[in-house]
Amino acid sequence: MIGLPLFLILSTMLFSLGLFAVLTRRSAILLLIGVELMLAAANLNFIAFWRFGPNPAAMTGALFVLFSIAVAAAEAAVGLSLILVIYRHLRSTNPKEVNSLHG
Amino acid sequence: MNSLFEIIAFLLIGSLTLGAAVAAVGLRDTVHCGLSLAVVFVGVAGLYLLLDAEFIGFIQLLVYVGAVAVLVMFVILITRPEDGVIQQPDRRRQKLPGALIAAGIFLVTYGAIMQSPSLRRDVPEPAALSIRAVGEALVSGHLLPLMAIGVLLTTALIGAALFAMEGEDGK
């Protein structure tokens, strides 16, 4: 039987990788990929705690992940369309070049 | 027997997920990063299946692999420079602090997981997550969040479509 700590360590690794991407990459799309990795790690934690928790019949973790997936889908749609608009204006997706409010 | 199979499956799926995550974070070509992200999503769905959350796993496959990964790939391909060369002046000195912060957070969390005794008690295998129970919980106890999610998704999708449409006739 695989215990809860293994899943937690795996999701911590995923989270750290996502954080590393957010901190270092120079492309808005890769920042979004990093955020998606961190979200996946959080969802994995929810499911792992639900599975090994004291009261799995309440399904709290699983339902939370359902809602979290829906919110993440909305976030991805809005974020990617923002990246598209920025690319159309500036011909670049580097967040460092987005430094002016004037369109 | 069952336990051995589970350990092998966990090792396989876990290493696949981690490897794909490293690729998604580290590769230079953005297209490869997007494709690796799809593999990460498939791996996480496999982990959900391993954790007896079949329904969540299939939802993950449908929403993430089917929609989000495809969306990311579309945007990556649309915003690609014409010559196909990715010019990315990744500065080394920016990488080191980022790696240090990420490694620090990993080590702190790892230590906390390793020290916590309450995480390693043995739990009996719960009954599989039944779709019927999920549906009943959604429309009885969690009706308000369900409605809020519906409003949020509608708003977000209309907003995203408006953003993406803007440049066509606006200029």
Predicted local confidence at residue A60, as pLDDT = 86
Looking at this predicted complex, what is its ipTM?
0.91
Predicted local confidence at residue B148, as pLDDT = 94
For residue B124, the one-letter residue type is P
A97 and B CB contact within 8 Å: no
For the segment A55-101, what is each residue's pLDDT rounded down to a tens digit?
A: 777 888 889 999 999 999 999 999 999 888 888 888 887 877 778 77
Contact indicator for B47, B17 with CB cutoff of 8 Å = yes
For the segment A19-46, what is each residue's pLDDT rounded down to a tens digit?
A: 999 998 888 899 999 999 999 999 999 9
Residues 6+ apart with CB under 8 A from A34: A17, A18, A19, A20, A21, A22, A25, B25
Q: What is the pLDDT along chain B (171 residues), one digit of tens a residue?
A: 468 888 899 999 999 999 999 999 988 888 999 999 999 999 999 999 998 888 999 999 999 999 999 999 999 998 887 655 555 555 555 788 889 999 999 999 999 988 887 777 666 666 677 888 888 888 888 899 999 999 999 999 999 888 878 655 544
From B60, B64, B160, residue closest to A81, measured CB to CB: B160
List of chain B residues whose C-beta atoms are within 8 Å of the C-beta of residue A3? 119-120
Task: Give B131 to chain A, closest Cα distance, Å.
Answer: 11
Do B18 and A50 lie within an 8 Å CB cutoff? no
Do A67 and B149 lie within an 8 Å CB cutoff? yes
